[in-house]
């Protein structure tokens, strides 16, 4: 196994060189927000959709558009509103008098990168149409089903739920997002730089430096990153402790968790850890990689009871406590 790991490490070193180039392009436009950019790359390399949550003005939309620009891919931005209809997303059948038949006019969902802006402002019918695209990677218009082109990635932004005019997303849909990333304010120095850049006459932009085939190849390499059985056990322990806290010395959370993380959490913890190891130029996963992605993978997959809310216990606290309690291999 040793030689394999050595070979794998060398291969990953070589294949992951493009990560620095993407980072360089992204940081031309975005100041700070390293966590968000890293998470966007993890989603891209793992073929997982991402939900970005934060107040307006934190460069969520800019980050997604900049990432899409670095890759020669089709990009669609859809602004979600309370009056949006599924046809506005998917497209519709239009009667052509010339052909005397119905023809399909494809909607903005037919792209590689979908930016669903303020996703929690649209009603349930639109969400169910998006759900089919996210899960099945296909779309049905009339009687015909159309496969979506790979890579297909939904990068959604949402404002915190407390804001008026927003609908909480259905649990089944939230579970389809690989990561839920909380985007926070920049620090003082970063904010000064942001202000300077935005008041100069020219605003920098990213260059297109990759093809979609480069991303699909990188994904294959990420899946080859070595994941030991000890790490697999560590991942399942983390997920199971969110379902049965009492069995994992977390009796204080009994009655606080309404539902624990789904099996998708295990899949995405493994994939996310592989992608994180790849970003760190390593051919094998260590427990630190799992811990690095655990919060973003699990924060939207744990439901809290009224008791937990009454005691102001958050999913973040539960996840951190799980990571501190579950034995590290």
**CATH 2.70.40.10 assigned to 18-198:** no
Residue 328: CB atoms within 10 Å: 13
Q: Which residues of the chain have pLDDT under 50?
A: 1-3
pLDDT score for 1: 46
pTM above 0.85, yes or no: yes
pLDDT score for 164: 67
Using left for φ > 0, alpha for ψ between -120 and 50, and beta otherwise, residue 123 falls in beta
Domains 18-198 and 226-325 share a fold: no
Domain ranges in the chain are 18-198, 226-325
C-alpha to C-alpha distance for 93 and 120, rounded to whole angstroms: 27
pLDDT score for 161: 62
pLDDT score for 132: 85
72 - beta bridge partners?
Answer: 211
Q: Is the peptide bond before 151 cis (omega within 30 degrees of 0)?
A: yes
pLDDT score for 270: 96
Residue 18's contacts (CB-CB under 8 Å, 6 or more residues apart) are 209, 210, 214, 218
**CATH 1.10.8.80 assigned to 226-325:** yes
For 51-89, what is each residue's pLDDT tens digit? 998 888 888 888 888 888 888 888 899 999 889 998 899
Largest pairwise CA distance in the chain: 71
Tokens of 59: 């460069």
Angle formed at CA 306 by CA 302 and CA 310, multiple of 5 degrees: 110
The structure tokens 């994904």 sit at 219
């Amino acid at each position: 196994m040793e030689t394999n790991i050595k070979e794998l490490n060398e291969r990953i070193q070589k294949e992951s060189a493009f990560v620095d180039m993407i980072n360089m392009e992204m940081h031309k436009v975005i100041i700070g927000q390293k966590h968000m950019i890293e998470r966007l790359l993890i989603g891209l390399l793992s073929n997982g959709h991402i939900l970005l949550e934060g107040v307006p003005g934190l460069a969520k939309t800019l980050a997604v558009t900049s990432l899409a620009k670095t890759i020669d891919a089709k990009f669609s931005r859809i602004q979600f509103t309370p009056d949006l209809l599924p046809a506005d997303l998917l497209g519709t059948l239009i009667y052509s008098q010339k052909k005397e038949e119905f023809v399909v006019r494809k909607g903005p969902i037919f792209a590689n990168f979908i930016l669903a802006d303020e996703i929690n402002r649209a009603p349930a019918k639109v969400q169910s149409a998006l759900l089919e695209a996210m899960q099945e990677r296909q779309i049905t218009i009339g009687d015909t089903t159309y496969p979506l082109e790979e890579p297909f990635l939904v990068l959604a932004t949402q404002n915190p739920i407390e804001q008026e005019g927003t609908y909480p997303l259905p649990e089944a849909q939230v579970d389809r997002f690989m990561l839920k990333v909380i985007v926070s304010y920049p620090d003082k120095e970063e904010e000064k730089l942001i202000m300077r850049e935005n008041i100069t006459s020219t605003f920098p932009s990213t260059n297109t430096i990759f093809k979609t085939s480069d991303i699909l190849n990188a994904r294959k390499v990420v899946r080859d990153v070595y994941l030991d059985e000890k790490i697999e056990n560590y991942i399942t322990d983390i997920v199971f402790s969110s379902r049965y806290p009492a069995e994992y010395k977390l009796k204080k959370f009994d009655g606080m968790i309404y539902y624990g993380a789904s099996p998708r959490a295990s899949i995405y913890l493994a994939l996310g850890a592989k992608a994180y190891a790849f970003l760190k130029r390593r051919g094998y996963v260590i427990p630190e990689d799992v811990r690095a992605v655990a919060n973003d993978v699990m924060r939207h997959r744990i439901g809290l009871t009224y008791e937990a809310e009454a005691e102001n216990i958050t999913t973040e606290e539960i996840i951190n406590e799980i990571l501190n309690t579950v034995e590290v291999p």
